[in-house]
């Protein structure tokens, strides 16, 4: 009986992966059933537990699992012959790999297969003009200048995360009519852990549905990343689409620090598409605190980025992972977020009021 249970679990997981590979469900089914019903049910069951913990349960389990694995490998190596050792641990690796990947799909990963956001939100398609990107960057720079904080209170992180939850709940309810289950805490890792190990500023662990940000990030970028990871937990898989929803929520939030953090994060992305002179002009006009935050982020990357060979391998691995999930552009998908925001402005879904320096989402112009 003890052997029957893991064999049954492996067989069910393998069957799920086989069916998913040979006959994946249509995007319409993901939109109508998986994300709003099945995934939402998983989130309601798990996030109130793991998200209420002030520490990372995934990190604790990962560390404990690594210690257990190390001790078990050493003991097995001493007790078994090489052939038996490789056979036994090969089967165990196959079992755990299959089960974990199946759980990944069921618990969160199927969100990658949703209908493209351009179709869902009725965004106009076509090439993004440089003038449109420049206008978006100017609008973001105005938000940065207006909402740049004079000082940051000691509880700025907790208040910012709470504001991010509220803004995201409001935005997704307005856009899709869905009620979200979001965690109380966004966990901060030891400084530099995510940047050094994967060039990431944040991550969602799909098996515990916990959101994490790198503890080395300056506060505005930490809050912008926290909102991004919460948007992943809201059921968005693609990085560009997650950034887009992050932008809609953060730029229209009631909290000025969250608006500033979101605008600063998106400004850094949009700036990549600007000509050098145009960027320098906008950068020089930013308030001193914003330039200091940008410099602080550069210093963090200079300190924690891995050596080039390791960084190249990390990028290759992550690019392969994204493509395996149907993100055709791979890591380049991040850059599509600017195109989506420009498309939203072109369609009237996202509007900027220069007089007030505020963005608003105009649903009557959307889908």
Does pLDDT of 273 surpass 90? Answer: no
Token reading at 55: 């520490």
| pLDDT for the residue numbered 334 | 73
| pLDDT for the residue numbered 177 | 92
| pLDDT for the residue numbered 366 | 42
Token reading at 292: 């200091």
Percentage of the chain surpassing pLDDT 70?
96
Distance CA 97, CA 220 (A): 37
Give the mean pLDDT of 212-219.
97
165-186 per-position pLDDT tens digit: 999 999 999 999 999 999 999 9
| pLDDT for the residue numbered 127 | 64
Distance CA 243, CA 135 (A): 18
| pLDDT for the residue numbered 228 | 97
133-151 per-position pLDDT tens digit: 889 999 999 999 999 988 8
Backbone angles phi, psi at 205, to 5 degrees: -90, 110
357: left (phi over 0), alpha (psi -120 to 50) or beta: left
Distance CA 150, CA 208 (A): 37
For residue 28, how many C-alpha atoms fall within 13 Å in the half-sphere facing its CB? 0
Does pLDDT of 80 surpass 90? Answer: no
Give the mean pLDDT of 302-319.
86
Q: Give the residue among 91, 84, 71, 95 at the shortest CA–CA distance from 5.
A: 95
| pLDDT interval class at 365 (50, 70, 90) | very low
Give the mean pLDDT of 252-277.
90
Does pLDDT of 83 surpass 90? Answer: no
| pLDDT interval class at 367 (50, 70, 90) | very low
**Cα distances (Å, whole numbers) of residue 284 to 287, 289, 291, 294:** 8, 12, 8, 12
52 contacts: CB under 8 Å, gap ≥ 6 = 183, 184, 185
Backbone angles phi, psi at 133, to 5 degrees: -65, -40
H or E segment to which residue 360 belongs: strand 358-361
| pLDDT for the residue numbered 85 | 87
| pLDDT for the residue numbered 336 | 83
Q: What is the CA radius of gyration of the chain?
A: 22
pTM for this model (two decimals): 0.93
Give the mean pLDDT of 334-360.
88
């Amino acid at each position: 009986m003890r052997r029957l249970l893991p064999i049954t679990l492996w067989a069910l997981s393998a069957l799920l992966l086989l069916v998913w590979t040979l006959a994946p469900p249509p995007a319409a089914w993901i939109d109508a059933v998986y994300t709003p019903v099945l995934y939402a049910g998983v989130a309601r069951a798990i996030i109130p537990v793991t998200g209420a913990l002030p520490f990372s349960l995934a990190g604790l389990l990962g560390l404990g699992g690594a210690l257990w694995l190390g001790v078990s490998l050493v003991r097995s190596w001493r007790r078994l012959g090489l052939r038996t050792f490789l056979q036994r641990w090969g089967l165990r690796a196959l079992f755990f790999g299959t089960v974990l990947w199946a759980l990944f799909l069921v618990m969160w990963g199927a969100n990658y297969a949703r209908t493209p956001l351009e179709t869902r939100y009725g965004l106009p398609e076509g090439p993004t003009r440089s003038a449109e990107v420049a206008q978006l960057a100017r609008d973001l720079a105005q938000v940065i200048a207006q909402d740049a904080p004079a000082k940051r209170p000691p509880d700025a992180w907790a208040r910012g995360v709470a504001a991010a939850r509220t803004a995201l709940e409001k935005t997704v309810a307005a856009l899709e009519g869905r009620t979200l289950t979001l965690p109380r805490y966004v966990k901060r890792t030891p400084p530099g852990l995510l940047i050094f190990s994967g060039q990431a500023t944040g991550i969602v662990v799909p098996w515990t549905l916990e959101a994490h940000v790198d503890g080395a990030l300056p506060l505005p970028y930490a809050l912008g990343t926290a909102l991004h990871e919460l948007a992943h937990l809201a059921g968005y898989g693609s990085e560009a689409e997650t950034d887009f929803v992050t932008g809609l929520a953060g730029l229209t939030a009631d909290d000025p620090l969250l608006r500033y953090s979101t605008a600063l994060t998106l400004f850094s992305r949009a700036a990549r598409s600007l000509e050098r002179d145009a960027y320098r002009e906008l950068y020089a006009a930013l308030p001193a605190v914003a330039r200091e935050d940008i410099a602080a982020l550069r210093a963090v990357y200079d300190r924690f980025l891995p050596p080039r060979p390791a960084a190249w391998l990390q990028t290759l691995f992550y690019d392969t992972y994204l493509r395996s999930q149907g993100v055709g552009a791979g890591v380049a998908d991040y850059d599509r977020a600017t195109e989506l925001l420009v498309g939203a402005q072109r369609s009237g879904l996202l509007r900027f009021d220069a007089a007030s320096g505020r963005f608003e989402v105009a649903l009557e112009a959307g889908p």
